[in-house]
């Protein structure tokens, strides 16, 4: 278990498309453990593998601080509604901006044993899922911000 260095906006790796995970290996298990440690250490609600410099389709999300979701090869299969609110990113420290996202998403993914499962989320969880999945295709929320980025002390995404 280890804290990994979080890559920041401007680094090319954050603009690349990640590769599918085809098998679970010890190396990938360690990566996932490190991603969880790194997310909690940074007080984030989500982290995608490219943010720690690994171009694999893996995200970790925990919007409550006690229920981490590990999503491998995730894809959104259903969306509904709309929410507009403040969003931040561990790769864009000290900033926040207003982004509109679906208020409901259903995501199909694989777990650490590569077993398929589905996860539904609303509000902050839906926002976090959309935000983290964007990272896997090389996109940052700043591309979607309505208006200007603002300076913030805390960098946790907030609900409206």
Is 89 one of the binding residues for Zn ion (CB under 5 A)? yes
Is 130 one of the binding residues for Zn ion (CB under 5 A)? no
In the three-class reduction of DSSP (H, G, I as helix; E, B as strand; rest coil), residue 109 is classed as strand
Find the part of the chain contacting Zn ion (CB under 5 A) among 16-24, 66-74, 83-91, 102-110.
Answer: 83-91
Is 39 one of the binding residues for Zn ion (CB under 5 A)? no
Enter the tokens of residue 83: 């929410």
- Marked catalytic residue, from 11, 33, 120, 132: 132
Q: Considering the complex, state which of residue 61 and residue 89 has its C-beta at the smaller distance from Zn ion.
A: 89
Assess whether 159 carries a catalytic annotation.
Answer: no
Residue 158: count other Cβ atoms within 10 Å of its Cβ. Answer: 14
Closest CA to 140 of 131, 148, 149: 131
Specify the DSSP class assigned to residue 12.
G
Q: How far is the CB of 92 from Zn ion (least distance, A)?
A: 7
Cβ proximity of 96 and 86 under 8 Å: yes
Is 6 one of the binding residues for Zn ion (CB under 5 A)? no
């Amino acid at each position: 278990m280890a804290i990994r260095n979080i890559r920041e906006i401007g680094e090319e790796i954050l603009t690349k498309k990640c590769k599918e995970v085809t098998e679970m290996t010890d190396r990938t298990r360690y990566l996932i453990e490190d991603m969880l440690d790194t997310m909690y250490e940074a007080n984030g609600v989500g982290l995608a593998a490219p943010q720690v410099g690994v171009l694999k389709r893996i995200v970790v999300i925990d919007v409550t601080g006690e229920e981490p979701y590990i999503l491998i090869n995730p894809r959104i299969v259903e969306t509904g509604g709309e929410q507009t609110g403040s969003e931040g990113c561990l790769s864009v420290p000290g900033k926040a901006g207003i982004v509109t996202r679906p208020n409901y998403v259903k995501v199909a993914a694989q777990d650490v044993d590569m077993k398929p499962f589905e996860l539904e989320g609303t509000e902050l969880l839906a926002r976090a899922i959309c935000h983290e999945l964007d990272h896997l295709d090389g996109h940052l929320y700043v591309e979607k911000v309505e208006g200007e980025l603002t300076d913030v002390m805390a960098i946790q995404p907030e609900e409206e």
